[in-house]
Amino acid sequence: MLMQCTKKLLNELKREATLPKEENPLFSWHANLIWVNRRKTAVFVNDKNRYVIVLYGLKVKDFKNFSDRIKKGIKYTFQAECINNDIIQAFINYNDFVFTKTKNNSLVSKVNYACKQINYFQELLNNNSLYQPDISKKLSKRFVSNGGSDYIHPNKKMYKDLREFFDINIFGCRAVRLKINLELEKHNVWRILIIPLNFFFTDLHKALQIIFNWNSLHLHEFYIYNDERTQNLSINHPAYHHHNFKPIVNIISPYEEIFEVDKDINLLIEGEIKLSEYLPAKMKYNYDYGDNWQHYIEVEELIDKYDKNYPICLNGKGETPPEDVGGETGYEDFLNIIRNKNHPQHSNMLTWSKSQGLEKFNIKKVNNELKKKFH
């Protein structure tokens, strides 16, 4: 693996500025050292496809074991991409690490561009870890110039390059098949979703918004339950389960204000918790605390080898109520009005429903949206 480093990074590594060497550009990177939030941060950009790896909060001991830190940075980011572990091991062990000075100004400008982009996505940085797969993935998904009129998505170019080099499907990870029922007294609305287990609960939220045609306009939360039963929660409590299972974890958005905490329920932030940490388990997803849409989530199957790096919807039935319709009561009033052409609000309600994005469940469109969002 060839690491072509700026003078600043070479000085930190206490290495001589040796001349650049030739290497397959897929295994060749340009690297720079910058300060982010008063922490030393190394940024690596692949010479062939501009894929980005970020190490954040480097200390003296990390520079002494820099090759190992880079390997783990690539490994954890590729795992977050659902890349097959055999491919990851073959990639990071392709050749011994060699550190040289940078090759040319064009490649240096590309790594500098990636360094500047970090400032726009600092909320993705994990202050508790050196390895930063979230921001690495985000920077690698951005549409960038690769010289002249050539524009690429670095992540998709990396997938293509790995597939061509290793000549096999590069994706392979553990996943889970979920059945999600939207709790409506008079309607049967459900979806079946496969999603990688190394995704975060934030990713599950985004996937649920797509498959149920919500618009992510409101707050949301997850509850995790064990097998115990409890009668201590009223039906109006957000943690209530219709089979009276006991809630043990409440997973919330980082943007949610916490007004009161139930000491018997562990409170966690969704962007820090992977699905694999709790699944299989009984779950509930609440969306829009005003309209109070409750989704019960059942694990149908654990999948050992899933050959994609994005969720897919396998099946579904029923249409989702429009946003801000007023809960179940408002939804029934809405349906009565649009079914009655003679109702004085019929035309206005149809116009309003279109503005809310109301449409019939279309599995092909849903899967296109899931692939666009996550791939």
The per-residue pLDDT for 257 is 67
Percent of the chain with pLDDT over 70: 98
CATH number, domain containing residue 236? 3.10.290.30
The token pair that represents 9 in the structure block: 């990074």
What average pLDDT does the chain have? 93
Q: Is residue 339 part of a domain?
A: no
Q: Are residues 19 and 108 in the same domain?
A: yes
In a domain, 349, yes or no: no
User: Do 139 and 203 lie in a common domain?
Assistant: no
Where in the sequence is the domain holding 225, given as residue range(s)? 175-319+359-374
Please give the DSSP secondary-structure letter assigned to residue 143. Answer: -
pTM: 0.86
In a domain, 125, yes or no: yes
- Kindly state the tokens that stand for 69: 């830190």
Q: What CA–CA distance (Å, rounded) separates 71 from 55?
A: 11
Residues 218 and 151 in one domain: no
Angle subtended by helix axes 133-141 and 154-166, to nearest 10: 100
- Residue 351 maps to a domain: no
Q: Residues 115, 12: one domain?
A: yes
Q: Is residue 60 part of a domain?
A: yes
Among 166, 194, 219, residue at a domain's last position: 166
pLDDT at 258: 63
> Is residue 52 in a domain?
yes
Verify that 112 and 245 share a domain, yes or no: no
Asked whether residue 26 falls in the same domain as residue 58, the answer is yes
The residue among 112, 140, 166 that closes a domain is 166
Domain end (from 138, 166, 194): 166
Q: What is the mean pLDDT of residues 14-34?
A: 90
Q: Does one domain contain both 122 and 43?
A: yes
208 and 158 part of one domain: no
Total of domains in the chain: 2
Residues 154, 180 within the same domain: no
Predicted confidence band of residue 314 (pLDDT cuts 50, 70, 90): very high
- Is residue 261 predicted with pLDDT exceeding 70? no
Say if 344 falls within a structural domain: no
Based on the domain organization, do 102 and 17 belong to the same domain?
yes
CATH number of the domain enclosing 143: 3.30.420
Residue 353 covered by a domain: no
Q: How far is CA 4 from CA 23, 72, 145, 147, in A?
A: 11, 18, 21, 19
pLDDT in tens, 242-260: 999 999 999 998 777 665 6
Q: What burial letters (b/e) apply to 332-353, b meaning 16+ CB within 10 Å?
A: bebbebbeeeeeeeeeebeebb
Question: If pLDDT is split at 50, 70 and 90, which confidence band does 88 have?
Answer: very high
**Same domain membership, residue 291 and residue 234:** yes
Q: Are residues 29 and 162 in the same domain?
A: yes
Question: Tens of pLDDT along 211-224?
Answer: 999 999 999 999 99
Looking at residues 176-200, what average pLDDT do you find? 96
